[in-house]
Structure 1
């Protein structure tokens, strides 16, 4: 019996570290593409820097903040359970996981907005049909003078090996530019996701039924 349990754990660890890993969507920052409580699988296999593309939805791991590598757990029992989660690839672990959409690739410049309120990547507006709840941008407002809309942020250059990520629910998302919006002409400190933090890309929502692509918009 013990041998069978150990084999099952070993198979689970192999699957979650090399093929797919299950996650529960913890917040509404990606609505309506992903709803709070959705059960999804992240594809681990085949995810590398060369294949990661703009608009991919990624899961990335971090500690208490995006800059922290791991969570510091002072309780020895809880800490031991987190080590189990680290090995199995599911349950509590030493990393929190966040889900966002890749918008800026390494070397890209990203800013908001043009006169139509659209996001600009490398100076060109991009189509974002998945954004249903954006920050307000009243008619006549602008991003390059006066009092900017809360949707606005100045041009940001994405460093090598990193990504600028945003939530689809722009009006309620703590993402790469959350601390930069509405600061026309003012420098800020955006938060980037390093590739070594990326666990996988979202591929399949298996609950609630019916299952479907996690890329729905």
Structure 2
């Protein structure tokens, strides 16, 4: 092989090598993102309607809560703490965070609203039971223990949530759902409704235990 042929061949091999490296790097990055940062979950029940419908798929940010803290209003996926699901129903659930550690959550006030740390919350996203103006059929008052969360479904009349099963360990949270990806017609960013939740005072400012 002449020197000229060798020089012609080397750029071609370098190009192929670069393509292989790029493809391998892209596949590796995709695997790492899927394994450690983002996961997809299927919605099997009506407990989060109309925010999430049966058959929807959502992307979940797994940096929550390990790197990014959980906030009130977040829609979170969590592992069954025990007794929430049957073996046939799987291991994961999805609900909205209502109470943080130390928060006092109560229901209902004279307008049928939840209150968190004495602050009434207007939950515009909640599906009410037909003929009711209350966000929960049950009256309750609970102070959320340290390291745990009070979670509820948006479809309050069709959600067996913390009202039935109690609080959820923060350590059981898999991540925060942030995007509905399927079906295409349902593509949307999931809101924590900051306008609803950012006005709630912290438990420490109202005499609660953080």
Tell me the distance in 2 between the aligned counterparts of 1:159 and 1:41: 29
Q: Deviations over 1:164-204 (max 9, x none)?
A: 000000011000003xxxxxxxxxxx511101100000011
Runs of 4+ in 1 over 6 A off after TM superposition: 7-12
In structure 2, the residue matched to 1:215 is 191
Give the TM-score normalised by structure 1. 0.66
The match for 1:96 among 71, 91, 94 is: 91
- The alignment of Structure 1 onto Structure 2 pairs a total of residues equal to 168
Whether the 8 Å CA contact 2:112–2:133 is kept in 1: the answer is no
Unaligned 5+ segments in structure 2 are: 1-24, 194-210
Residue number in structure 1 paired with 2:200: none
Give the number of the structure whose residues are more often helix, by fraction: 2
Q: Which runs of 5+ in 1 are unaligned?
A: 1-6, 74-91, 140-148, 179-189
User: Which SS does the other structure have where 2:184 is aligned?
Assistant: coil
Instruction: Determine which of 88, 107, 116 is the counterpart of 2:111.
Output: 116
TM-score (norm 2): 0.68
1:170 aligns with 2:165: no
Deviates more, 1:125-134 or 1:46-55: 46-55
Match of 1:29 among 47, 61, 76: 47
Question: 2:100, 2:39 → 1: CA distance?
Answer: 24
Per-residue displacement from partner, 1:93-122 (whole Å, max 9, x unpaired)? xx6110000001000011110001001111
Q: Indicate the SS of the match to 2:40.
A: strand
Which structure would you say has the larger Rg? 2
CA-CA distance at 1:133 after TM superposition: 2.5
- Alignment partner of 1:157 is 2:143: yes
Query: By how many angstroms is 1:13 displaced?
Result: 5.5
Cα distance, 1:53–1:111 mapped onto 2, change above 3 Å: same
Check whether the contact 1:39–1:207 (CA below 8 A) recurs between aligned residues.
yes
User: Of 102, 108, 132, which aligns to 1:107?
Assistant: 102
Q: Distance in 2 between matches of 1:199 and 1:216?
A: 17
When residues 118 and 135 of structure 1 are mapped into structure 2, their CA distance, relative to the original with a 3 A threshold, is: farther
1:87 — aligned with what? none
CA gap of 1:11–1:62, structure 2 versus 1, over 3 A, is: farther
Note if contact 1:111-1:152 (Cα within 8 Å) is conserved in structure 2.
no
CA RMSD after TM alignment: 3.3
Change (3 A) 1:17 1:159: farther
- Give SS of 2:162's match: coil
Matched position secondary structure for 1:100: strand
CA distance in 2, matches of 1:108, 1:213: 27
Q: Contact (CA 8 Å) 1:42, 1:59: kept in 2 or not?
A: yes
